[in-house]
Structure 1
Amino acid sequence: MHHHDHHDHDALPDNRRRLLAALLLTGGFMVVEAVGGWLAGSLALIADAAHMLTDTASLLLAWLAFRITDRPADRKRTFGYHRFPVLAAFVNGLALLLIVGWIAFEAIGRLLEPTPVMGGTMLAIAVVGLLVNIVAFALLHGGSRDNLNMRGAAVHVLGDLLGSVGAILAAGVILVTGWTPIDPILSLLVALLVLRAAWFVLREATHVLLEGAPPGVDPHEIERVLPTAVEGLIDVHHIHAWSLSGERPMMSLHARADGAVAHDALVARIKAVLLERFGVEHVTLQIEYGEGCVDHQDRDAGRGGSELDEGPAKG
Structure 2
Amino acid sequence: MSRAARSGWFIAGLALLVALCAASVSLGVRDVSFGDIVAALSGQADTVGEAAVVKRLPRTVLAILVGAALALSGAALQAITRNPLADPGILGISAGSSFFVVLGITLFQLSRPYSVMGVAIAGAAVAAVLVYLIGSAGRGGATPLKLALSGAAMSAALVSLTSAAILPRVDAAQSFQSWQVGGVGGGTWDRIATVAPVLAVGALICFVCARGMNSLALGDDLAVGLGEHVGRTRALAGVGAVVLCGAATAIAGPIGFVGLIIPHLCRLLFGPDHRWLLPFSALAGASLLVAADVVGRVVARPDEIQVGIITAIIGAPVFIWIVRRQRVREL
Structure (1 or 2) with the greater strand fraction: 1
Structure (1 or 2) with the greater helix fraction: 2
Q: TM-score, normalised by structure 1?
A: 0.28
Q: TM-score, normalised by structure 2?
A: 0.27
Q: Give 1 or 2 for the bigger CA radius of gyration.
A: 1
> Structure with the greater relative contact order (CA < 8 A, sep ≥ 6): 1 or 2?
2
